[in-house]
Amino acid sequence: MTETTDNYKRLAGEHAALSVQSGMVIGLGAGSTAIFATQFIAALLRGGERRNITGYATSKSVWQEAVRLGIPMLTEDMPTAIDLTIDGADEVDPQLNLIKGGGGALLREKIVAQASHREIIVIDESKMSSRIGTQHAVPIEVLQYGWQSQARFLATLGAEITVRRYADGSHFRTDQDNLILDCRFEPIRDPAALARQLSERAGIVEHGLFLGLADDVIIAGPTGIRHLRRAGTP
Q: What is the largest CA-CA distance in the chain?
A: 55
206 Cβ neighbours under 8 A, 6+ residues apart:
106, 107, 110, 140, 141
The rounded distance, in Å, linking the Cα atoms of 91 and 138 is 10
> Are 121 and 218 a contacting pair, CB within 8 Å?
yes
C-beta neighbour count of 124 within 10 angstroms:
23
Catalytic residue of the set 14, 109, 119, 206: 109
- For residue 91, indicate whether it is catalytic: no
Distances in Å between the Cα of 98 and the Cα atoms of 47, 113, 229 are: 34, 12, 14
207 Cβ neighbours under 8 A, 6+ residues apart:
101, 106, 138, 139, 140, 141, 195, 198, 199
**Nearest Cα to Cα of residue 142 among 109, 178, 177:** 178
The rounded distance, in Å, linking the Cα atoms of 10 and 166 is 27
The rounded distance, in Å, linking the Cα atoms of 142 and 101 is 13
Q: Give the dihedral sign, CA 11/16/18/22.
A: negative
> Are 154 and 183 a contacting pair, CB within 8 Å?
yes
Residues serving a catalytic function are: 109
